[in-house]
């Protein structure tokens, strides 16, 4: 089985500042890892996914995530936050059986 | 354009009534999923289907039922047995089930409110 833990249910940054959203995973097999973004009252949109090809994964909207096996982490970053990045972000893992999602982190961007 | 549609966007129901949420996809995906989303709890899996005419219970299937008679369609019925049905419901699909096939793509969701 597998699971993910997202550290921090709410993160607030200033526009132009670094965005760092944390995700740690647990998996009995080498995992595939995902980040999704959800805007209010909408479905989830895939930002990026890790499938063991490269540890640094680049996604849409300037986001990227780095897989660190030693730390069992897959943190999401963006060098400079934009107001349009305000949303909820979900980390997910697949390995054995169905995909498992974290509880989500709400990102607020202050002007 | 390929995608997943859910209807209606907003749904209101009286207590004791069954209600069916629609989910249609034209991505030619074999697998489909239903999730429930409540504030602060992330996504919880209700049912999933790996192929037509087959489906399995997820973590919170009690009070819900599904059917998968066509590849494109996976409707969810919220029955009167569901104790607290007010929530945001998300449908998703993937090429298949299991690694390398299970990247999920989501519909826009249906917000159900029980009056």
- Is the pLDDT at A28 greater than 90? The verdict is no
Beta partners for B88?
B37, B111
In this complex, which of A9, A94, A101 lies closest to B43 when CB atoms are compared?
A101
Confidence of residue A74 (pLDDT cuts 50, 70, 90): very high
Per-residue pLDDT band at B99 (split at 50, 70, 90): confident
How far apart (Å, rounded) are the C-alpha atoms in residues B17 and B13?
Answer: 7
Tally of CB atoms within 10 A around B79: 15
Token pair 């989500």: residue = A104
Q: What is the pLDDT of residue B79?
A: 94
> Beta-strand (E) ranges in A1-111?
2-7, 10-14, 19-27, 32-38, 44-50, 56-58, 64-68, 73-78, 87-94, 100-101, 105-110
Give the one of A42, A98, A101 whose C-beta lies nearest to B42's C-beta: A101
Mean pLDDT (chain B, rounded)? 93
| A102–B42 CB contact, under 8 Å | yes
| Chain-chain contact of A43 with B43 (C-beta, under 8 angstroms) | no
CB contact under 8 A, B103 and A43: no
Task: Tell me whether residues A103 and B92 touch, CB distance under 8 A.
Answer: no
Instruction: Answer whether A25 touches B (CB < 8 Å).
Output: no
Q: Which of B49, B34, B26, B48 is nearest to B85 (CA)?
A: B34
- pLDDT tens-place string over residues B79-88: 988 889 999 9
pLDDT of residue A16: 97
Does the pLDDT of residue B1 top 70, yes or no? no
- Judged by DSSP in three states, A42 sits in coil
- Of the residues A35, A89, A98, the best mutation for testing chain B's interface (the one with the most B CB atoms within 10 Å of its CB) is A98
For B89, the token pair is 């419901």
Closest CB from B105, B107, B111 relative to A41: B111
- What's the mean pLDDT in A61-81? 96
Model confidence at A98, pLDDT cuts 50, 70, 90, reads confident
> Which residues of chain A neighbour B105 with C-beta distances below 8 Å?
46
């Amino acid at each position: 089985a597998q699971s993910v833990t997202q550290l921090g249910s709410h993160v607030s940054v200033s526009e132009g500042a670094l965005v760092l959203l944390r995700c740690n995973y647990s998996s009995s097999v080498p995992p595939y890892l995902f980040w999704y973004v959800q805007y209010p009252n909408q479905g989830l949109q895939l930002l990026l996914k890790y499938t063991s090809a490269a540890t640094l994964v680049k996604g849409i909207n300037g986001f990227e995530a780095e897989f660190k096996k030693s730390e069992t982490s897959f943190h999401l970053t963006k060098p400079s936050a934009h107001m349009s990045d305000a949303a909820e972000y979900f980390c997910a893992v697949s390995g054995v059986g169905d995909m498992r999602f974290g509880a989500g982190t709400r990102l607020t961007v202050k002007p | 354009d390929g995608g997943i549609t859910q209807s209606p966007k907003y749904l209101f129901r009286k207590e004791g009534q069954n209600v069916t949420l629609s989910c249609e996809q034209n991505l030619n995906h074999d697998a489909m999923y239903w999730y429930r989303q409540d504030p602060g709890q992330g996504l919880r899996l209700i049912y999933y289907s790996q192929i037509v005419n087959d489906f399995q219970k997820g973590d919170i299937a009690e009070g819900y039922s599904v059917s998968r008679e066509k590849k494109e369609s996976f409707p969810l019925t919220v029955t009167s047995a569901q104790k607290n049905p007010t929530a945001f419901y998300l449908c998703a699909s993937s090429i298949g089930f299991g690694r390398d096939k299970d990247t999920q793509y989501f519909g826009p969701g249906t917000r159900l409110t029980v009056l």
